[in-house]
Amino acid sequence: MSKSFTPKVVTANDLLKGDVIYQTATGWTRDLADAEILTDEAHADLRLIEGSQQIADVVGVYLMDVALDGTAPQTTHFREAFRAKGPSNYVHGKQEVA
């Protein structure tokens, strides 16, 4: 494992619903807590490519940084925090169902 590599999660938007999703070992989830944590750079690149190939289901696939709180992934940038929660002016988006 490369030293400078920080943990990542593959994220995207769902093609049909448009909402934020995260890759798991077997598919996609809407809950960051269930996402597959990638700690190896080569493996992360591979998972990114695999995710990007699922063009019939997802759009805008990329790797996002996470911090680990025990084993649970936490967002590190405020943009990802909003994606994981929803807008700040209404209780809409993920926070609506949470």
Partner 1 sequence: MYTYNDFDKSFIATRNAQFRDQVERRIDGSLTEDEFKPLRLMNGLYLQLHAYMLRVAIPYGTLNGGQMRQLAFIADKWDKGYGHFTTRQNIQYNWPELRDVPDMLDALAKVGMHAIQTSGNTIRNVTADHFAGASADEIADPRPVAELIRQWSTDHPEFQFMPRKFKIAITGSPNDRAVTRAHDIGLRMVEKDGEAGFEVIVGGGLGRTPMIGKVITDFLPQEDLLPYLESVVSVWNQIGRRDNKYKARIKITVHEHGIEEIRRLVDERFAIVKGSFSGIDQVRLAEYKTHFAAPDFVVKSEAVFKDAYHSDPIFRSWADTNLSAHKADGYSIVSISIKKHGDTPGDATSDQMRLMADLAEAYGHNELRISHEQNVILPHVHKSDLPALHAALKEQGLATANIGLISDIIACPGMDYCALATARSIPIAQEIATRFDDLKLEHDIGNLKIKISGCINACGHHHVGHIGILGLDRAGVENYQVTLGGDHTETAKIGDRAGRGFEAHELVPAIERVVDTYLALRTDKDEEFIETYRRLGLAPFKAALYPEAQADAA
What count of Cα atoms within 13 Å lies in the side-chain half-sphere of residue 11?
Answer: 21
Q: How far is CA 66 from CA 15, 16, 94, in A?
A: 23, 26, 18
Candidate residues 15, 29, 63, 74; the one interacting with partner 1 per rule CB under 8 A: 15
Number of residues lying near partner 1 (CB under 8 A): 25
Looking at beta carbons only, is 16 or 68 nearer to partner 1?
Answer: 16
Candidate residues 6, 19, 37, 68; the one interacting with partner 1 per rule CB under 8 A: 19
Footprint (CB under 8 A) of partner 1, residues 32-51: none
**Is residue 86 involved in binding partner 1 (CB under 8 A)?**
yes
Separation of alpha carbons 53 and 82, rounded Å: 26
